[in-house]
Amino acid sequence: MDPQILAIMMVVSLFALILVGVPVAFAIAGAGLFFGVMGVDLNLFNLLPSRIFGVLTNYTLLAIPLFVFMGILLEKSRLAEKMLDVLGLLSGKKPGGMAIAIIVVGILMGASTGIVGATVVTLTMIALPTLLKRNYSHSVSCGTICASGTLGQILPPSLVLILLADISGEAIGPLFAAALVPGLLLAVCYILYIILLSKFAPHHVPPIDEEERSLYSKKELWIEFFKSVAPPFLLIFAVLGSIIGGLAAPTEAASMGAIGALVIVFLSKRLSLEILKDTLYETMKVTGMIMFVLIASQVFGLSFRGLEGDYLVEDLFAAIPGGMWGAILFMMLVLFVLGFFLEWIEISYIVLPLVLPIFHALDINMIWLGILVALNLQSSFLTPPFGWSLFFLKGVAPKEIKTMDIYKGVLPFIVIQIIVIALVMVFPQIALWLPKAIGWM
């Protein structure tokens, strides 16, 4: 049989295995091994040990467990709950104030955890009952929480950016710097949407009543702000500033972040042996899952190239009209559609290694392209029917929250994400200005 036909069959079987519920790593490795042996032979995998060794000894990937530890510790210690209370009461005087506070907490948690599941579940458990009690619209409440929880996918130190750096061969520092402005632009657009909603449909986002706000004086709230909100913010600033400013490698900065998180939680008197054990367990689980997928993707990559799949992809992109822009738009459309059905890590290690060499050959700025991809992958968390943020929220939401409430709530935020992607595509300097300003490019 023609090797390229087998390559197509391998990709189709991989998607089929994932959609029927086979764990991602097993699906990737199983499809790659089966079709690799069928189309070539076992000698194809002689390079596999050295490629796995390369993954396991990649110094940059050491940042993953350290950043995951930092984020999970801040989440397990429930500092996010205190942040939301303080920011909500400070901004709750006006319509939409609590929703804006959730977005700000999403920024802080996203920049500290980089783990969407932890952020969405935490925000849902903390904020959703409060929003419902304050008569917020069900759909607006769900949409705001889901969208805020996904900001960790684009705001550094995002796991998406770390793995994109590994896949594309780019340095993490420039990618982090390039993601900062688009990520904050996305958050600002979310806030502008809430402000517009408060102007034209204030009954969807009512203010916190006077009685609740009077429980704390302004002085007490600001003291709590400096105790609960300022330390995580300073930690994030120190970690990202050291990477973007070139003072520390990402792995070194990640270790600073992990130690800094321990200090903050200890000083807030929230550190316990139980929290530390839970944090270490979750860190190992998340890291193990990511590394297992990385190793499995080496099997798939070897088989795909052995079956001449890379030539197949080149021919496909050569047939797309419009030259460079046609190729970019086609890739973005494919990633967006796959986001309806697959998780970001599956898309990253199935699709991107196949298409990125084509863009390297076209001499496209890979930092800019990486940010477009990261923004696109972020939207996969919100797009029905299989957006993971929607599942995370539904899993811990009160019974009165219907699936349709969640779907309706995320639609405006998906539109906002598409607009921001279009802006970064048309105006590359949104992403490239900061790395150029600090001398990364």
What does the pLDDT look like over 5-45, one tens digit per residue? 888 888 888 778 877 878 777 888 888 888 888 877 777 77
Q: Is residue 181 part of a domain?
A: yes
**pLDDT, average across residues 326-330:** 88
CB proximity list for 411: less than 8 A, separation 6 or greater: 143
- At 135, phi and psi to the nearest 5? 65, 30
What pLDDT is recorded for position 423?
A: 95
What pLDDT is recorded for position 92?
A: 60
Domain extent, residue 241, equals 59-437
CA distances from 404 to 139, 143, 282 (A): 8, 11, 31
Rounded CA separation 70/39 (Å): 44
Select the more confidently predicted residue: 423 or 117: 423
Residue 422 banded pLDDT, cuts 50, 70, 90: very high
Contact 147, 406 (CB under 8 A): no
Q: Is residue 49 part of a domain?
A: no
What pLDDT is recorded for position 424?
A: 95
Select the more confidently predicted residue: 109 or 102: 102
- Number of domain units in the chain: 1
Q: Answer yes or no: is pLDDT of 81 > 70.
A: no
Rounded CA separation 191/185 (Å): 10
Q: Is residue 95 part of a domain?
A: yes
CB proximity list for 189: less than 8 A, separation 6 or greater: 416, 419, 420
Both structure tokens of 264: 């903050």
What pLDDT is recorded for position 417?
A: 93
Both structure tokens of 81: 């709950």
pLDDT cut 90: percent of the chain above it: 11
What pLDDT is recorded for position 419?
A: 94
Supply the DSSP symbol for 42.
G
Tens-place pLDDT, residues 106-128: 887 776 655 666 677 767 777 78
Q: Answer yes or no: is pLDDT of 197 > 70.
A: yes
What pLDDT is recorded for position 3?
A: 78
Q: Answer yes or no: is pLDDT of 309 > 80.
A: no
Q: Is residue 330 part of a domain?
A: yes
Least reliable range by pLDDT among 44-53, 62-71, 386-395, 412-421 = 386-395
Q: Is residue 86 part of a domain?
A: yes
Tens-place pLDDT, residues 130-189: 778 778 888 888 898 888 888 878 888 777 888 888 888 888 888 888 998 999 999 999
What pLDDT is recorded for position 115?
A: 62
Q: How much is the mean pLDDT over the chain?
A: 81
Select the more confidently predicted residue: 285 or 431: 431
What pLDDT is recorded for position 188?
A: 94
Select the more confidently predicted residue: 364 or 222: 364
Rounded CA separation 437/57 (Å): 32
Q: Is residue 80 part of a domain?
A: yes
Q: Is residue 129 part of a domain?
A: yes
Tens-place pLDDT, residues 397-407: 777 888 888 88
Contact 109, 207 (CB under 8 A): no
pTM over 0.95: no
Q: Is residue 45 part of a domain?
A: no
